[in-house]
Amino acid sequence: MFANSNTKSSKGSNTLNVLTRDQHPVSRKFISTNALKVLHRLNSAGFDAYLVGGGVRDILLGITPKDFDIATNATPEQIKHLFRNCRLIGRRFRLAHIVFGRDVIEVATFRGHHDSATEKQQQCQKTSKQNEDGMLLRDNIYGSIEDDAERRDFTINALYYSAKDFTVHDFANGISDINDRKIRLIGDPETRYREDPVRMLRAIRFATKLDMKISAETEKPIKTLAPLLANIPPARMFEEFNKLFLSGKALVNFKQLREYQLFAYFFPTVDQALEVNEFPYLSTFITTSLANTDTRINSDKRVTPAFIFAALLWYPLQKQILQLKSTAPLSAQDAFFAAYHEVMSEQQRSIAIPKRFQAVMKDIWILQEKLERREGKKAFKTLEHIKFRAGYDFLLLRSVIEQDKPELTKLAQWWTDFQDSNYDTQQLMVKSLPKPTGAKRSLRKKRKPKQSNPATGTSE
């Protein structure tokens, strides 16, 4: 619990809570050296600069921050002038990235209110623009620190730490909500969600990440406004997918997305299949794969989003393959690639999956068929495949879920034993496999039939 002292903000409408150095645990020892460098240089140049948002929030919660964002009254151009290692990014809202090798400190100019923008700013679409649903397409209106606090999404993110006097400034009762473990939007929830529908996803992510509860007024409009997520660009939805599913909280986030009817805007085909229970294994397959992903992440093991995508779309892919085979005489390979193209084209409308992950997904799926063909040298070639481990893990997952398929369990066990055996044993294992059914292809070259010479009547 944190104490606070209250003063009125310059606008007079909000209560500003200021915590002095002895009233909070935020300290420079918890802040990255590079973030402190940026704060000090901005302050030395005569600008106001604060560590803001998640960095302050996490320290107050006893969590080690991963990111350190800074808010200032310096414009992006002024920031760039101060830092040679600065690059300006962003179209919707102009940001400065101060680059220290792999460490990037994000610096944003205090945001202002659209109704307080100058006439010149309002006339310039490059500065500010909204669509017909109220979503902000461009948002380069600058203001005071009070304006910036009101423009932030959640109360727990409207916290500012000053490196000059070591105080924490709380403009929206964020300290109280941290103490109460509550996720609450600043301002009218419907308006804020319309400005940026991704805030619905952020509410869920913060609640699960911080073990907090979404307040009733923040929660109420989510299901009604869920369709607004259809307007979010697929590239941004991919970024949100990573934050939700690669943070060690994938399973609980999946359940919350389903609860609030938001999952459909990530995977519409999968969501529809879950609604009607189209595939008997789908739900268990998803929850098991997500639980395994959480375990790996929380054990500091590597994961790839491609595996999750492959698990989510596996049964829709199988359905598409069967449909194609039933309507056209296609080979197994042709049916797979045609189905793959259909499934991925549909999915890309919701999430822009980068090609590097699509390639891994395809390898995982192709390996499922390759793992079945073990005769001759095929098992050894499959074992050398660059994505063998991912394909094998996927097979293991299938064998655990599809327990009514004993042949799948035997196949998974065979590959488990094969990997752990020496070369001689591996050769014996391959030779002991049942002979493949079907006619054998002759290795001998077919002789051409002799043709008779029409002139002589003898064969040549």
Same domain, 299 and 170: no
Q: Tell whether the model's pLDDT for residue 301 goes beyond 90.
A: yes
Q: Note whether 309 and 180 are same-domain residues.
A: no
How far apart CA 158 and CA 150 sit, in angstroms, is: 8
Number of domains in the chain: 2
* 27 and 165, same domain (yes or no): yes
Report the pLDDT averaged over residues 407-411. Answer: 95
* pLDDT for the residue 15: 75
Residue at which a domain ends, from 184, 206, 233: 184
Residue 110 belongs to some domain of the structure: yes
- Answer whether 232's CB lies under 8 Å from 197's CB: yes
Side-chain half-sphere of 150: how many Cα atoms within 13 Å? 19
Residue 445 domain-assigned (yes or no): no
Clarify whether residues 163 and 295 are in a common domain: no
Rounded distance between C-alpha atoms, residue 382 and residue 301, angstroms: 24
pLDDT in tens, 314-361: 999 999 999 999 888 889 899 999 999 999 999 999 999 999 999 999
Measure the CA–CA gap between 400 and 285, rounded to whole angstroms.
Answer: 9
pLDDT band, residue 435 (cuts 50/70/90): confident
Q: Average pLDDT, whole number, for the chain?
A: 88
Is a pLDDT exceeding 70 seen at residue 453?
A: no
Catalytic residue among 153, 196, 294, 363: 153
The position carrying tokens 């992006």 is 76
Task: Answer whether residue 149 is part of any domain.
Answer: yes
Q: What's the pLDDT score for residue 117?
A: 47
* 163, 18: one domain: yes
Which residues 6+ apart lie within 8 Å of 145 measured at CB?
48, 50, 71, 73, 110, 160, 169, 171
Final residue of a domain: which of 184, 203, 223? Answer: 184
The CATH number that applies at residue 121 is 3.30.460.10
Flag whether 14 is in a domain: yes
What's the whole-number mean pLDDT along residues 33-46?
A: 97
CA 69, 75, 80, 81 torsion: positive or negative?
negative
Question: What confidence score (pLDDT) does residue 11 get?
Answer: 43
SS3 category, 406:
helix
Query: 415: which residues sit within 8 A by CB, 6+ positions away?
Result: 371, 392, 395
Is 55 in contact with 43 (CB distance < 8 Å)? no
What is the model's pLDDT at position 122? Answer: 46
Q: Burial letters for 310-342: b for 16+ Cβ neighbours within 10 Å, e otherwise?
A: bbbbbbbbbbbbeebbeeeebeeeebbbbbbeb
Does residue 417 carry a catalytic annotation? no
Q: pLDDT tens, 186-211?
A: 999 999 999 999 999 999 999 999 99
The pLDDT, as a whole number, for residue 141 is 84
Give pLDDT, residue 94: 86
Q: What is the pLDDT of residue 139?
A: 52
- Residue numbers of the domain that contains 179: 5-184
Least confident of 11-25, 170-184, 409-423: 11-25
Summarize pLDDT for 224-260 with one digit per residue, the tens.
Answer: 999 999 999 999 999 999 999 999 999 999 999 999 9
Please tell me whether residues 34 and 177 are part of one structural domain.
Answer: yes
**Average pLDDT rounded to a whole number, residues 380-397:** 96
Based on the fold, state whether residues 164 and 301 are members of the same structural domain. no
- pLDDT for the residue 106: 96
Among residues 184, 213, 243, the one where a domain terminates is 184
Domain-embedded: residue 331: yes
CA separation, residue 96 to residues 61, 84, 136, 400 (Å) = 27, 11, 19, 48
238 CB-near residues (< 8 Å, 6+ apart): 351, 352, 353, 354
Tokens of 427: 């050769």
What confidence score (pLDDT) does residue 54 get?
93
Domain membership flag for residue 438: no
Find out whether 128 and 140 touch, Cβ atoms under 8 Å. yes
CATH code, domain with 424: 1.10.3090.10
Is there a domain that residue 233 lies in? no
67 is catalytic: yes
Residue 358 lies in a domain: yes
Share of the chain above pLDDT 70, in %: 85
Q: Report the percentage of the chain scoring pLDDT > 90.
A: 79
Structure tokens at 136: 């902000």
**Residue of 69, 139, 170, 363 marked active site:** 69
Q: Does the pLDDT at position 124 exceed 80? A: no
The number of angstroms, rounded, from the C-alpha of 260 to the middle of its chain's C-alpha atoms is: 18
